[in-house]
Each structure stands twice: as structure tokens, then as C-alpha cells.
Amino acid sequence: MSYIFFMSPFWKNVCDELYYQGMNIKTLSQLTGIPYTTITNAKNREDNIPPADAALKIATVLGKSLESLLGECARLPESAVGTERRERWLYRKYEPLILLLEKQSPQTQEAFTALAKSLRSETA
């Protein structure tokens, strides 16, 4: 997922969560009742946070706290926040593979793990 470099932290968090949940802005608009153009215009403005009622609607639809979307809940260093986002993104990317692997026998899981490790050593 790419961002416009000046997107506010609120909108970066919203976009991350939309991606993680497999949702898009159009769906967010429909579920919140906030016009699509209002959302897209707001997210593309630097340091823009929506009015409290709109931000709360967005947080509610996404199942997140308003504080977490504002980035004030965890108060983690930027490097830790970046790591958490990357881990969430990676999980979302490989979730179908993980779920498929979980259904396999322990022997198949071990064989897959061995295969993955051998590939890692080839690319290192």
C-alpha cells in the first residue's frame, strides 16, 4: 500500500486498517454515511483530522478506538509503530497461506517449514 507522503497519522492509520480488513474508502463511506468525496479530500490534506463525530463514526465502523486511530493510545516510538504496521501488513498478506498450512498434517507443516528455510538460505 502506498501513501501520499503528507497524509496525516489519523488517515494513515485508517488506511492501514482498511487494508487489513479488506475494505476500501467507498465501503467506509457507505457504512459511516460520510460522503466518499469528503473522506478522500480529507485524507489527502496534510495534518487533517476529521470532526469528532466523523472520526468517531470511522473508528466505530473499523472496530478501533479513536485513540488508536489518532496514534495516541500506544505511545510507542516510531520504529516500534512501523514494525507493528509491517507485521500486520505481512500477516494480512500471508493469512491465506497460514490458514491453509494450519489445516495440514504436522508432517506437511514440518516439510513446508524445511522448504521455507532452504529458500531463505538460498536468498541470503
pTM of the model: 0.56
> DSSP for 44-112?
TSBT----HHHHHHHHHHHT--HHHHHT-SS---HHHHHHHHHHHHHHHHHHHHHHHHHTS-HHHHHHH
Which pLDDT value is given to residue 62? 94
Contacts 24+ apart (CB under 8 A), 25-31: 28/58, 28/61, 28/62, 31/61
CA dihedral sign, ordered 21, 27, 33, 39 = positive
Residue for cell digits 478506538? 65
Q: List, for residues 5-51, the tens digit of each pLDDT value.
A: 466 788 888 988 898 888 999 999 999 999 999 998 888 876 678 88
4 has pLDDT over 70: no
Q: List, for residues 74-100, the tens digit of each pLDDT value.
A: 444 555 556 777 777 777 777 788 888
71 has pLDDT over 80: no
